[in-house]
Amino acid sequence: MPATPRLNPPVLNRLRARRARFLWWCHLRVPRVAKRALDLLVVVPALLLLLPLFAAVALAIRLHDGGPALFWQRRVGRDGVEFAFPKFRSMRVDAEAVRQQLLQANQHGAQGVTFKMRRDPRITPIGRVIRRTSIDELPQLWCVLRGTMSLVGPRPPLVSEVARYAPADRQRLLVTPGLTCIWQVNGRSEVPFAQQVEMDLDYIRKPSLWADVRLLLKTLPAVIRGRGAY
């Protein structure tokens, strides 16, 4: 039998290097592509089904106090890139201006990175309902459709919050932010900021499409319970 031809070492090394690069590319890209496919599979039909609810909520907000139905903020996404972040408006029109007067009542501490207040006087009657049911967050499905957010991932912080981040906190910005996350289904506003960061970093270190599916399945019961939704 003729001898099997052997590749010389330089050619063999190049082939091994190409294989290693291909496997590394798959390691990085395939989970991201699968995550994006899950986002689109869920968000496209969800947006279509929720259009009547969107219209009803927007009309209720407009009729109640005459202000805009949506409240837009600048949030920080993957790699520190800012993007427009919508919510159904649940507070008075002058809520941002009044916030400075309420800092001492921040349940995360007057000097805390995030601001949370159980009985925030800025919240409107309609706002209390849509916050309790998380309906105010639904416009962010548009961000998921655009790709600036994902269904699952660390919640996108305010620009002012990122300015106060410690170096370790900034690791939250390594991935696309999400509509729901670990601490969102485990107490939401009741979870201290340091613990939020710890949970988010644990999620980032162990990426898994199945973990995303589990968190999505846990989100609805968490919304129904309403723990930390204020």
pLDDT at 12: 56
pLDDT band at residue 157, thresholds of 50, 70 and 90?
very high
Mean pLDDT lowest among 106-115, 133-142, 158-167? 106-115
Structure pTM?
Answer: 0.78
Q: How many domains does the chain have?
A: 1
8 within domain boundaries: no
139 within domain boundaries: yes
141 within domain boundaries: yes
71 within domain boundaries: yes
Parent domain of 120: 33-225
109 within domain boundaries: yes
Q: In this predicted model, what pLDDT tens digit does every residue of 10-34 receive, in sequence order?
A: 655 665 666 656 555 444 555 788 8
Cβ atoms within 10 A of the Cβ of 94, count?
A: 10
Q: In this predicted model, what pLDDT tens digit does every residue of 115-156 receive, in sequence order?
A: 666 677 788 899 989 988 899 999 999 999 999 999 999 999
In whole angstroms, give the CA distance from residue 156 to residue 83.
10
16 within domain boundaries: no
pLDDT at 95: 72
